[in-house]
């Protein structure tokens, strides 16, 4: 069966997250978005784990559903860990996502990690633990767990990040790198960028939202043709069998795509950064080197190379942003909410609207401009001012002068 999964999210117990993230809201928004299997996030936090036990019930093998509700949404036990430690004479900051097959495995993992650091402090705990040692602890606890380096190019907290990362998985995980079956590409890169690196040929590229609010679920996701179970999903990730495609941000929209300084308002391409020797032309301090620059630094292939075993991908823009641009109003406006609700209530869910719904059906429940905007996104006809140093990229689908001529397909 076709399954859309988003496995990396956070609960209200993580820093800088919405206080409205509870399991009922996650279930509600997963259904609106079209996500079939959602990671629980934050299973290491005692408070969130207590809510998971209280509000979820076992369903298919290794998956859970809301108690007392006939929902089709399933939850898979996941959590993110922030490993901060010194290796190779350098402080490393590596984020890792854990997948667990059962509550029993989670409890054993938490018991061991509680001996390392304070799990109560944050839904995404900071542990002074080598990422390799974390991998050993998790797999020694239950070999059916899956350990995935998170958003691998983010400058500050990732395995390849410009500020604190490594140049290969082997440098980070040593002899245990053979147990890394997948990596998460993050919002600021897409598979096409990652295909330039031979060192990633033997791992699967997955994509998740890293949502800090329920409404952000599904901004990236994974699509499988598999049995609805933990084992089947993890096996598809490991082998790529039945892994149909990933759903991606346009990487320019991610907040670390270009180099720059947010405080100085400086955004630079890798070529421009080189011209300034990676120094901010305004404040004369080192630039925050972004994802595109870092990928190019490690790339050994031309952009556009496709490995023979590559999993395809589709780039999308969240529906609310498409509606916002089509109407020329803010994303948080009432008009956007009205059209969003009408579309998702009548055309199944957001993914169906963005990926498969017919233009005439979208027009029926919205406006020709909105239908045209979705079509342009499907065709990649967008213009994006790249994000940098924590600032999201800015998207334009329409020329402002063409709002009254939605059928003119203009590539900006």
CA distance 411 to 38: 35
Does residue 231 sit in the same domain as residue 324?
no
Does residue 69 sit in the same domain as residue 213?
yes
pLDDT value of position 68: 86
**Closest CA relative to residue 323, chosen from 251, 397, 259, 265:** 397
Record the pTM: 0.95
162 token code pair: 């410009």
Question: From residue 313, how far is each of 17, 93, 245 by CA, in Å?
Answer: 28, 28, 5
18 belongs to a structural domain: yes
383 belongs to a structural domain: yes
pLDDT per 10-residue tile (average), the chain, 412 residues: 98 96 98 98 98 98 95 98 96 98 98 97 98 98 98 97 96 98 98 98 98 97 98 98 98 97 98 97 97 98 96 98 95 97 98 98 98 96 96 86 36 32
Does residue 236 sit in the same domain as residue 344?
no
Does residue 234 sit in the same domain as residue 358?
no
pLDDT value of position 372: 96
Does residue 343 sit in the same domain as residue 230?
no
293 belongs to a structural domain: no
CA distance 113 to 97: 14
Does residue 35 sit in the same domain as residue 149?
yes
Of 252, 270, 288, the residue at which a domain comes to its end is 252
297 belongs to a structural domain: no
390 belongs to a structural domain: yes
In this structure, what CATH number is given to the domain that contains residue 190? 3.20.20.140
Burial 141-168 (b: 16+ CB within 10 A, else e): beeebbbbbbbbbbbebbbbbbbbbbee
273 token code pair: 């950064």
Does residue 155 sit in the same domain as residue 234?
yes
Does residue 95 sit in the same domain as residue 238?
yes
Of 199, 234, 252, the residue at which a domain comes to its end is 252
Question: Could you give the number of structural domains in the chain?
Answer: 2
Does residue 89 sit in the same domain as residue 231?
yes
The bridge status of strand 90-100 relative to strand 74-87 is antiparallel
287 belongs to a structural domain: no
pLDDT value of position 404: 40
Does residue 41 sit in the same domain as residue 128?
yes
Alpha carbon dihedral 287, 293, 294, 295, in 10-degree steps, equals 170
312 belongs to a structural domain: no
Does residue 234 sit in the same domain as residue 339?
no
CA distance 98 to 8: 9
10 belongs to a structural domain: yes
Domain of 358, in residue numbers: 318-402
Does residue 63 sit in the same domain as residue 182?
yes
């Amino acid at each position: 069966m076709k399954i859309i999964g988003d496995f990396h999210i956070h609960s209200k117990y993580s820093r800088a997250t919405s206080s409205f993230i509870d399991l009922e809201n996650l279930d509600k928004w997963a259904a609106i978005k079209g996500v079939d299997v959602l990671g629980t996030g934050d299973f290491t936090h005692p408070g969130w784990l207590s809510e998971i036990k209280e509000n979820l019930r076992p369903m298919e093998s290794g998956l859970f559903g809301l108690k007392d509700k006939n929902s089709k949404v399933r939850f898979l036990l996941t959590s993110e860990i922030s490993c901060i430690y010194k290796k190779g004479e350098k402080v490393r900051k590596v984020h890792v996502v854990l997948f667990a097959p059962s509550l029993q495995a989670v409890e054993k993992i938490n018991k061991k990690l509680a001996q390392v650091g304070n799990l109560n402090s944050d839904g995404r705990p900071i542990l002074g633990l080598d990422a390799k040692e974390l991998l050993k602890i998790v797999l020694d606890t239950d070999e059916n767990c899956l350990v995935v380096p998170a958003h691998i190019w983010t400058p500050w907290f990732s395995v390849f990040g410009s500020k604190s990362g490594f140049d290969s998985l082997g440098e980070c995980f040593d002899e245990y790198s053979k147990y890394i079956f997948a990596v998460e590409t993050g919002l600021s890169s897409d598979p096409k960028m990652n295909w330039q690196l031979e060192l990633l040929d033997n791992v699967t590229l997955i994509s998740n939202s890293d949502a800090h609010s329920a409404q952000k679920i599904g901004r990236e996701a994974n699509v499988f043709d598999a049995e609805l179970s933990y084992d089947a999903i993890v096996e598809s990730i490991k082998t790529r069998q039945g892994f149909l495609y990933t759903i991606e941000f346009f990487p320019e929209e991610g907040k670390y795509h270009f180099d720059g300084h947010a405080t100085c308002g400086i955004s630079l391409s890798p070529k421009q950064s080189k011209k300034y020797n990676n120094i901010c032309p305004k404040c004369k301090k080192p630039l925050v080197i972004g994802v595109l620059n870092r990928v190019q630094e490690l790339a050994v292939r031309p952009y556009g190379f496709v490995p023979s075993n590559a999993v395809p991908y589709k780039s999308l823009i969240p529906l609310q942003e498409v509606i916002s641009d089509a109407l020329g109003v803010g994303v948080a406006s009432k008009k956007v909410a009205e059209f969003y609700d009408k579309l998702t209530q009548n055309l199944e869910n957001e993914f169906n609207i963005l990926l498969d719904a017919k233009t005439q059906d979208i027009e029926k429940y919205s406006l020709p401009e909105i239908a045209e905007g979705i079509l342009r996104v499907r065709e990649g006809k967008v213009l994006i001012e790249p994000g940098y140093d924590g600032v999201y990229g800015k998207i334009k689908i329409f020329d402002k002068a063409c709002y009254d001529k939605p059928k003119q397909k203009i590539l900006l």
